Each structure stands twice: as structure tokens, then as C-alpha cells.
């Protein structure tokens, strides 16, 4: 993307946001996303420096999601100088072996300690694959002990066996036990699932991400798309036709009848982009993942109940509501009525 294109996009977006009736504390977020955004560090710096010359009537934040391997001393020095405006998210998949298995590179190239020290709110995002599942707990616990925040999620678009669902459960149990025995560490995804979603009165769950409504992704040529999984590089020349056929504001059109009948649908997150890519419709969820979703809900509902009971003398009203929701979820996912192939 050229600097001129970036400026023209941001001018338009700033004007829209300024006129959107945003609240005083609402921030405008610019995220640099790839590929690997550090391949074009020069443009990131140009955009940031230009934005800082503007007198914007709202707070700004910048974020970059990176694989962390292109941090030269010069790049690190610059990011450090603007650290209060930036959040850095690094994709990392566990210890060195897990990282090599999933990404074919070493964690030694990533200045993790430096990033964590300078951006305490930043995190290292772990994707768990079929190959790294058996070491999942080890990876999370080791990185957490070293002081890193590590939210994690399962890889998309892959087939999971019943045996892997059982392994996932065992690995989650180990992580849950670690969190309960070490309350000094912040709980990260998926252990922070909000079971209060069960209380939604509508039978149709709301869309679980900002695709097509709150998020806009600009491709390198300046064209705008609903999210990074709805880009020409993903869907090819048919993309315009695909997007025209989707109403991202209509929750009912984003879920099919099969999933609407599922008792855990309100707790099941999906990726609409992968649904479209792998199954030809945003409404067709990945049914190969259901048993993993169930395993996760079983462990995490049990974990949250123990977690809140462990702190029951200091529970706020909000935490009590979370405990009640976790108990309700626990009863639902342990009822024995849910069977997924």
C-alpha cells in the first residue's frame, strides 16, 4: 500500500468516526496486519508520524500483529519510542519445538522478553494444531511462568478426532489446575469464556465478531473488505459476488438450522470467513470442531466454578453473576445429552 492511499483511507475513516457520535473515551484503532506487517515497517512509521501531526478529536491507538521475527534493533528502538500508543501482538505457538512444528521458525528470533517488558498489555497468541495439541499445556504453562500473557485457540479448518478431543480436555485440565494453584497469573482465553451469553433471550445468537459491521479491512490497493478472511487473496475473483450475497447485520442469516437447534449454540464461537471459504456459506459452521467445543466448555465451566468459589469471600456482584452463569453452563454441558461425532 502506498503512503498516499493510507492517508486517503484514514482521512475518510477519521471523518466518519468523528461524526459517528462516539463517546468521549471511545478510541479509534488502527491495526497493521499481514502477511507480515514488519515487511513494510517504513509505511507503518510514516502513517504513525503523519497521524501524530493531526489534531484529532478522539483518542487513537495502534496495534500490530506480527510473527516477531523481523524486529531489528532499529525497528525495536522506534517501537519503544512510541510504545504508549502501540500494542504489539506476537503470534507464537509454544516452546521452540512447538513453534518450529507450526511455523517452521524458532522462538529465539523473537525478542519476547523485551516486548513483554515494554508492552505489558500485549500478548503472545498461540494457535494449537493437531501436531502441537499434546504439548499444549506445557507450552502455555512454561510461557506463563516466564511472565508472558498467552491467549490460545485451536487451528481452523482441520479435522479433530475423538482421541484429540480427549487429549484437548486433559491438556485444558492441566492448564486449569495451574491457574487455580497460581492465582497470581492472569487467566487467558479460552479460560475467560463468558457463560453469561447463555442468558440471551433471543434464540438467535448475535454475530461473535466485528466482521462486516464494526471492522473494516483495507487491502494494499485501498479497497475495503469485511475482514482479512474476505480478501481477494483468499477468495479470488468471485469475492465481490460473495460479499454482495451476505448481510452481516442480519444475525439470523449467519447461522443454519442445524446449529440453531444445538443446545450450546450460544456458547459456540465461529469464524464466518472460514465457513465461507471451506463450506461455501458464512452460516455453515465447522462441525468437525463440535467435540472440541464441548470439551472446552466442560473444562472451563468447571474451572470457573472452582475459581470463583476459591475467591468467594471477595466476590463482587458481577463475579457472582459469572459464577451463576458458569454453574448453568456446567449443568448444560455435563447433562450427557450432547453427542458429537
Judged by the rule CB under 6 A, the positions of this chain that interact with ligand SF4 are 259, 262, 264-265, 268, 285, 287, 290, 293
Minimum distance from residue 270 beta carbon to ligand SF4 (Å): 6
Cα Rg, the chain, nearest whole Å: 21
Residue 249 beta carbon to ligand SF4: minimum distance, rounded to whole angstroms: 21
Give the phi and the psi of residue 279 in degrees, each rounded to 5.
-125, 5
β 123-128/28-32 pair status: unpaired
- Least CB distance from residue 197 to ligand SF4, whole Å? 12
At closest approach, how far in Å is the CB of 3 from ligand SF4? 43
Q: Minimal distance in Å, beta carbon 229 to ligand SF4?
A: 17
Quick one: 35 or 263, whose CB is closer to ligand SF4? 263
Q: Are 297 and 193 within 8 A, CB to CB?
A: yes
CB of 120 or CB of 157, closer to ligand SF4: 157
- Compare residues 87 and 169 and give the one whose CB is closer to ligand SF4: 169
Q: In terms of CB distance, is 231 or 295 closer to ligand SF4? A: 295
In this complex, which beta carbon is closest to ligand SF4, that of residue 58 or of residue 340?
A: 340
Judged by CB, which is closer to ligand SF4: 125, or 291? 291
Angstrom CA distances, 207 to 26, 77, 251, 278, 334, stand at 21, 39, 6, 19, 26
Q: How far is the CB of 287 from ligand SF4 (least distance, A)?
A: 5
Residue 173 or 265: the one with the smaller Cβ distance to ligand SF4 is 265
Q: Report, in Å, the least distance between residue 118 CB and ligand SF4.
A: 38
Q: How far is CA 36 from CA 51, 269, 297, in A?
A: 22, 26, 33
Buried b or exposed e, range 277-292, using 16+ CB within 10 angstroms: beeebbbbbbeebbbb
Sign of CA dihedral 157, 236, 10, 77: positive
C-beta of 155 vs 265, nearer to ligand SF4:
265
- Integer Cα distance of 97 and 30 in angstroms: 33
DSSP result, 130-186: TTTGGGHHHHHHHHHHTT----EEEPSS----HHHHHHHHHHHHHHHHHHHH-TTSP
Is residue 144 within 8 A of residue 174, CB to CB? The reply is: no
- Smallest gap from Cβ 159 to ligand SF4, in A, equals 14
* Burial bucket for residue 329 (CB in 10 Å: 0-12, 13-18, 19+): buried
Contact 235, 277 (CB under 8 A): yes
* Whether 152 contacts 128, CB under 8 Å: yes
Q: Where would I find the beta strands (DSSP E) of the chain?
A: 28-32, 60-66, 86-91, 123-128, 152-154, 217-218, 224-225
- Give min distance, CB of 266 to ligand SF4, in A: 9
**For residues 38 and 268, which CB has a smaller minimum distance to ligand SF4 in the complex?**
268
Amino acid at each position: 500500500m502506498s503512503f498516499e492511499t493510507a492517508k486517503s483511507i484514514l482521512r475518510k475513516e477519521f471523518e466518519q468516526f468523528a461524526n459517528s457520535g462516539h463517546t468521549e473515551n471511545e478510541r479509534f484503532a488502527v491495526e497493521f496486519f499481514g502477511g507480515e506487517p514488519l515487511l513494510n515497517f517504513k509505511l507503518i512509521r510514516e502513517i504513525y508520524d503523519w497521524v501524530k501531526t493531526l489534531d484529532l478529536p478522539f483518542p487513537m491507538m495502534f496495534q500490530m500483529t506480527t510473527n516477531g521475527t523481523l524486529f531489528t534493533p532499529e525497528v525495536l528502538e522506534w517501537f519503544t519510542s512510541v510504545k504508549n500508543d502501540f500494542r504489539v501482538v506476537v503470534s507464537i505457538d509454544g516452546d521452540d519445538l512447538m513453534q518450529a512444528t507450526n511455523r517452521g521458525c524458532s522462538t529465539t528470533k523473537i525478542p519476547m522478553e523485551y516486548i513483554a517488558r515494554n508492552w505489558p498489555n500485549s500478548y503472545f497468541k498461540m494457535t494449537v494444531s493437531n501436531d502441537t495439541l499434546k504439548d499444549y499445556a506445557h507450552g502455555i504453562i512454561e510461557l506463563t511462568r516466564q511472565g508472558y500473557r498467552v491467549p490460545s485457540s485451536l487451528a481452523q479448518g482441520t479435522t479433530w478426532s475423538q482421541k484429540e478431543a480427549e487429549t484437548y480436555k486433559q491438556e485444558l485440565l492441566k492448564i486449569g489446575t495451574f491457574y487455580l494453584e497460581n492465582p497470581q497469573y492472569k487467566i487467558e482465553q479460552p479460560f475467560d469464556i463468558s457463560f453469561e451469553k447463555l442468558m440471551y433471550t433471543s434464540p438467535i445468537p448475535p454475530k461473535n465478531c466485528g466482521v462486516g459491521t464494526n471492522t473494516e479491512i483495507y487491502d494494499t490497493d485501498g479497497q475495503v473488505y469485511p475482514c482479512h478472511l474476505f480478501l481477494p487473496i483468499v477468495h479470488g475473483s468471485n469475492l465481490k459476488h460473495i460479499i454482495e450475497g451476505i448481510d452481516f447485520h442480519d444475525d439470523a442469516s449467519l447461522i443454519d438450522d442445524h446449529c440453531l437447534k444445538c443446545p450450546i449454540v450460544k456458547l459456540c464461537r465461529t469464524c464466518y470467513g472460514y465457513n465461507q471459504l471451506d463450506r461455501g456459506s458464512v452460516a455453515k459452521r465447522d462441525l468437525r470442531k463440535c467435540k472440541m467445543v464441548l470439551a472446552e466448555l466442560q473444562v472451563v465451566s468447571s474451572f470457573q466454578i472452582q475459581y470463583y468459589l476459591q475467591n468467594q469471600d471477595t466476590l463482587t456482584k458481577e463475579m457472582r453473576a459469572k459464577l451463576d452463569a458458569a454453574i448453568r453452563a456446567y449443568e448444560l454441558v455435563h447433562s450427557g445429552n450432547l453427542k458429537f461425532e
